Structure 1
Amino acid sequence: MLLSEPTILVACAVAVILVGMAKGGFSGLGALGTPVAALALPPSTAAAILLPILIVQDVVSVWSFRHAWDKWIVGWMLPGALIGIGLGWAIAASVDERALMGVLGGITLLFGLYRLWIERGNRVVAASTSPGWVGALFGMATGFTSQVAHAGGPPFQMWVTPRKLPHLTYAGTNSILFAAINWLKVPSYVMLGAFTHDVMVAAALLIPLAIITTLISVRVVRVLRPERFYTIIYLLMVLLGGKLMLGAIS
């Protein structure tokens, strides 16, 4: 059994906690899930274990934020995400995942630093009003990076955080969009034969931890002040970007 190895168990548990925090509202942290699990497993196996767990966590997060999400944002990003998922599936074999994560990390780091700088000292910054077609492009990037490594959080953040949604609406929009994206990824994983018996057993054993982590994160997000929520998101983007870059370099 995969989780009988202590190093695999610890790596997968940490990965599940990270994606649980992301599903609970701290968007972006989920991008670390696959790289952390891949410290002890082949990346394809790590991604296969996490997908059923993500889907279960989606149920918790969607139910928790079902009354607060932005239909306009999801409506623009989801079609682009579908295209991105198709591209990721079609060229998965030729994608250098380490290089992709390094580039994604660099962009995420710079974006997080930029937003922290312009909003320093509680400065009031006008919300972005970029058109929907821009969101479709970011949706494509979200779908692509999600298909390749469950790392769709940063592109989502880059388009949605500047729009300054109420923080619960932001969390709900993230939950609804990624719930749809994760189900859209299932056929490609099935066709690739990724859901082996060992993979599904490992995922099932990790699901209780996934649910608990998601519920705790939802609780924390609900009591956070909105301005503090966005500061935390930008700080997490900086840390996430730095970690992805270091992982790519090393």
Structure 2
Amino acid sequence: MSGTNRAVDPQHQPVTHEAPDLPVPEMPAAYGTVAPPTETDREPAAAPPRPVSQRGPLGSQADGMAAIRAVWERAGESERHRPAGPGRPRRRREPRRLAPALLGILVCACLLMFFAWTAAPALWISVGHAHTGTVHVTSCQDGFAPSCTGLFQTDAWSKELHLTGEVDPGDLGSELPARATGPGSHSAYVGGTAGLLLRWAPSLVLLTATAFALVGCSGATRLYEGRSQAIGLCWAAAGAVLAVALGFAW
């Protein structure tokens, strides 16, 4: 037949295969009940890919080395400026050898005695401990360091003394006002107060510098133990030399 009433050939009808309704096996009670999947159990969506740096491997390595160098230099600066703590070991120098230490101590001791002996009489006269009188210049010697001697006389005593201050060979045979510390002194000073200051102040400065040199030459700063005591002993020795010179100049 033709038209819409044409019979459908059973051979051309589509065949559908439907799955039979099979029973779902039940899980044993020991494993618990199976809940349906929730939104949180689903796999997360893949993150968008990160943009790849356009730097080449050479640039990245150079930047990394620059960062490492900066960190290293910063660590070195902090190490140099960090104060030594109680638990941090200090770098110790080797102790000074005996022969150079003894030689330095002897030289510094001689300089200490010289500067103390030079400063002591002028220092006593400056503070007012002095006997005033006149001196008759009896002899003078020319040369690199001219010196004169004279007979110093006061109302109570007289003595031949070495003259210091404003006196020269042109004053031979003349009488000049002078001051001395006492009958036991070895020199008399001729001149004003300004000259006295110039005699004892530089000598005390040089004596202090010699005391610093004594601390260094003796090796007191290089001792592992008793360093403070050794440094204090050096300064005590310098003070003792000055005290002895002041005692003899009284």
TM-score range, shorter chain: under 0.3
* TM-score calculated relative to the size of structure 1: 0.27
**Rg comparison, structure with higher value:** 2
Q: Which has the higher strand share?
A: 2
* TM-score calculated relative to the size of structure 2: 0.27
Higher relative contact order (CA 8 A, sep 6+): 1
